[in-house]
Amino acid sequence: MNHIIAPSILAADFANLQRDIEMINQSAADWIHVDIMDGMFVPNLSMGFPVVSAVKKHAQRPLDVHLMIVDPDRYIKRFAEVGASNITVHYEACPNLHRTVQLIKECGCTAGVALNPHSPVDLLKDIVADLDLVLIMSVNPGFGAQHFIEHTYKKLADIQALSAQSNANLMIEVDGGVDETNAAALFKAGAKVLVAGNSVFSSANPAQTIKNLKNANA
């Protein structure tokens, strides 16, 4: 199974965002991870439609849009229109999750659902067959450069078991505290997609760090 690396531009230099997007384009990265935060679901604000649209103009990789917002149904169509390829919503923010997932697919995007660190994988048992992706948060969402939560490995085992029962094609993504010290173990534990922000953009050679992450082997 091929490893997928999705650098998170939340950690990029926003004064030189085009430069950082072009670095990703030339690197071994597969996707560009875009974190959308509303200051309500998580205690932080990030980018909106104009920035995502600007990123799309320069990006040569699919945009993996992660909505850390309340009532995401209001904005799914707009994010699809400005360039999202995949849209991931949070289980904790969606009272009518099946409807939300259906809306994402109707807008032409693949559909993901994220789980916060405290949310058990079993919550997805009735919808996992309808999903393209599950995002396991390995930090509490809202800020970059947090410490990786070790319980993530248990959750990866749980989602792999659920996938084997109901959706063998499910993509498993991990976001938070991912770096060269744990990438190989995460791939071995069942992750296919790793989101890396601070570990990429704070490194002396971001493109080499991306390559190292992609080629990580336990």
Opening angle at CA 188, ends 203 and 113, nearest 5 = 80
Opening angle at CA 188, ends 87 and 146, nearest 5 = 60
CA distances from 113 to 69, 137, 138, 153, 182 (A): 13, 10, 14, 18, 23
- Catalytic residue list: 35, 175
